[in-house]
Structure 1
Amino acid sequence: MHKIEIRNKIAIYLDHRELINKIYNNDIAELEEKYELHTELFHFHERRIEVEDSHTIQQPETKAGNSKLAEKSSKKRKRKLNKMAVVEELQKLKTIVEDILGLVKVQQLINRVESQNGSDLPRYWEEISTKDFPTFNGVNTTATYKRSRFGEHSYLIPPHCKFFNCDVMELSKLLPQLMPNSKRFDLIVLDPPWRNKYIRRLKRVREELGYQMLSSEQLLQMPIRQLKHERSIVAIWCTNSKELQRAIVEQLLPAWNLRLQHTIHWIKVNTSGQLIGPIDVSGQKKQPFEMLYLACHMDSSAEFCTSLQQVSAILSVPSVIHSHKPPLLPLLSGLLPQKPNCLEIFARYLQPRFVSVGLEVLKLMDERLYNYCDTSTGNAAIIGST
């Protein structure tokens, strides 16, 4: 992680792939097998044409067309007038991000990744759906990788992890297994399946590939109160939807007896060190960032985790896999016990020191997404890329 100080705030550049590789292999016993995520999963290069910018292509003018444009423009002006606070906030963010990217370039933090053999990795993750896995649970208490096989594919189980492949709406029934000694969690991470256009498109193509999207009313039913203690940190990923963001602050956090401590922008950049898309100050289009909400117990001290408020943004080159979030433990480790008890809900990959719950907990542990590292030579060998 690299800290960038700007305007009395801190932005942190995360190497998504490096962080995951490090947490997987840190505790591996000497001379045991090691694996790394394939570099091509982070080939997020500059796009030549943005679909959302297609409106800039000039169309033949007609009276009817002009009338529609005028009507659309009028509605747009009204929306802007009603959202001046949002516009101002986004304009400030845009200015700050431009400054941060300038420093990222000067410090040469991003190493451009080139495709191997001029080809991209096949999209193996799109071959796997929730129907490929039964309801099951597993654990790896060793300092070596284990494997599980379902159907034709093999999945890596990193060391020191526990997982439950099941519907999170059944979480209350799992409480005795999640907390066998009534030990609550120091860190709880949620990446809820919010409604979004990508998943709706995916479902139209192949229903089972898209996970079930949940409403805030359904999320309210999760037993977060029973899972946390007074010094827990709860981290919630959210899209750019103001409606969903309001639901977190006004519905979920109060229902779970949590106090919002801070919000952080996750800024997504490509391998050229540029935003993956422009920041739309109107707030009407898809943005090159997501939000991370950090909350603590309502009864925790006012000083608890206040150091988080210095961090205004985290930046990284995202994975090309949808919703493959960067790990948060390295970012929050200084605020947690030395060996924290962590829980991720709606997990799509496994992490050491975590209990992972969701319908896709092994999806991104597909062995074909990883390189085998020969510990005797220090070289990595591509596996499963035929």
Structure 2
Amino acid sequence: MTNRRDMLVGGLAGASAALATTAASAQPQQTAAAVNWRMASSYPKALDAVFGAGDIFLKAVSDMSGGRIQLQHFASGEIVPGLQALDAVQNGTVECCDTASFYYVGKDPSFAFGAAVPFGLNTRQQNAWFFQGGGLALFNELLAQFNVIGLPIGNTNAQMAGWFRKEIKTVDDLKGLKMRIGGLAGQVIAKLGAVPQQIAAGDIYPALERGTIDAAEWVGPYDDEKLGFSRVAPYYYYPGWWEGASAILLMINRSKWNELSATDKAIFVAAAHQANSLTIAKYDDVNPAAIKRLIASGTQLRAFSPEIMDACAKAANELYEEIGAKNPMFKKLHDHMMAYRNEQLLWQQVAEFNYDAYQIRSRSRR
């Protein structure tokens, strides 16, 4: 334990695996106070993988505390609309929420770094950055300004680029395109002439069906199939360059967090690690069958052309420079994360990429 470092600021117990193991085996004292919190979600219950991350977390907290700590999980709209979950935590309406931090880039564009930024990290890289590279501690410096602390409790992994009513063959095809898209990605495609819309999950399908929007991204095959997008938009594009990984974040009111004992904080951290690992595994497990079903039902897969990818990457870099020139916290997070990404890519291209590329090429021969 002596060579482990605390990964969060403001009194958060360390987020290392060793601490998680210790917390999981710890027995709460008989005199410890009961904790009863409410957790608002940005997600509907029907999306059992992304909403389920919060369920895994709260069950683990209850199990580790012997039932002394109880959290009630409320779906999007039950207490507050999904995109107002952070506000509810800030003002004390609820003690915590599960959400995607990039929903709140209107408050500060730096919020994107707690979920996903265009051309950022993949899931493995993001976990490494959060828990070993200092990224989570740095992101919590931002959250402290909003009276919350953050713990990752899941990840959707690399996402698809979404559903389009027409084919997108060139950069010019993006001009005037009305698209539901979250986080900083909307600002990137706006540079290329598209019209971004931020719409909660439950409202995307009717907007796409009515033609209010021309395209929509959500997560990937498993979630998208549940939302029925294939019925109203036949073209399913990849890759989702704006979300090579997308963390699901537990945000906790900082004042309520500081009221917890050291043992209870350790339980929360351990439960967050469990939810994070199991949610990543869940998406890896369910997406292969879902993409097969979608293709069998008529979905047409399309890849963004290199021209489109290059144009989007250029626009993203321009956006980062513009924001960073005005926002020191954004620049600090961006420079830190991108330097970490580049070091990770140096290693992963040697072993991981070549191994995966060979397996993909040769799978039909075995």
TM bracket (short chain): under 0.3
Per the normalisation by structure 2, the TM-score is 0.24
**TM superposition score normalised by structure 1:** 0.24
The structure that has the greater radius of gyration is 1
More helix by share: 2
